[in-house]
Amino acid sequence: MNATLLIAAHEWRRLRAQPFAWTLAAVVLAFMAWQFLLALQAFVDLAPKLGGLKDAPGVTDLVAIPLLRSLSNLLLPLVPLVTMRAFAGERRAATLPLLLASGVGNLRIVLGKFVGAFGYVLVLVALVAVMPLALAAGTTLDLGKIAAALLGLALFAAALTGIGLVCSAWASQPALAAAAAFALSALLAVVDAGARLQGVSNSGINYLALPTHLEPFFRGIVASVDIVYFVLVAAVALALATRRLDTLRGSAD
């Protein structure tokens, strides 16, 4: 096993040993299950009227996609809570030297932390996805559209994890890291709100916004420009986190 996967597996082991990760997962799943049941009830109530419409939206559009869109909103505060301890927690507990003195390069350490946190978020996304996918037992789902939405969510989560990690590397306190990551992610989520109000949807500022690139996935459109955007955000964040580790090696803590 290489060092990146070793560190990622260790992060998993540590998460598994903490009540925090279990509590967070329980809260997220309970909240999403509640949303799912509400959406399903609304769909069941609406179904007789939909039957008379031509090209009426199905359960995928009215239950599955809204649920996954709702999860994307929840990821904005959730991911920073998962990533906040990655480096800030290690610094606070004075455990970072264990990794720094291991001879494993800074990039591998950052990638290990990334894979660990991202893996945990992906499991949550997968568990939430099981809810609408369970409907396949009784109805026909647009699996292609759901797959596109899940791919978008995964890429979105990767970008948020990267942002969370770089904030954790820069902040000295986990709470500060979480607050900074949430603020930065939220800023990227609403950065083009003003432009949209003006009716501008195709400018540079729109390109910077996270929803601009996430929304097409929810419509079943997988475009390379959107994939590249999320990969770029994550890559830049991880590069900055690696740079920060270089600096931390030289600092007093």
Q: Residue 151 and residue 214: Cα distance in Å, rounded?
A: 10
By CB under 8 A, residue 3 contacts other proteins: yes
User: Which residue lies nearer to other proteins by CB, 51 or 250?
Assistant: 250
Residue type, 181: A
Q: Residue 160 and residue 142: Cα distance in Å, rounded?
A: 27
User: Which residue lies nearer to other proteins by CB, 91 or 213?
Assistant: 91
By CB under 8 A, residue 100 contacts other proteins: yes
Q: How far is the CB of 242 from other proteins (least distance, A)?
A: 14
Q: How far is the CB of 99 from other proteins (least distance, A)?
A: 8
Q: Which of 23, 41, 73, 102 is in the footprint of other proteins by CB under 8 A? A: 102
Number of residues that bind other proteins (CB under 8 A): 26
Query: Please, how many CA atoms are within 13 Å of residue 174, restricted to the half-sphere of its CB?
Result: 13
User: Which residue lies nearer to other proteins by CB, 197 or 252?
Assistant: 252
Closest CA to 234 of 182, 157, 167: 157
User: Which residue lies nearer to other proteins by CB, 17 or 200?
Assistant: 17
Q: Is the dihedral of CA 202, 207, 210, 215 positive or negative?
A: positive
Residue type, 30: A
Instruction: Say which DSSP state 139 is in.
Output: S
Residues in contact with other proteins by CB under 8 A are: 1, 3, 6-7, 10, 13-14, 17-18, 93-105, 249-252
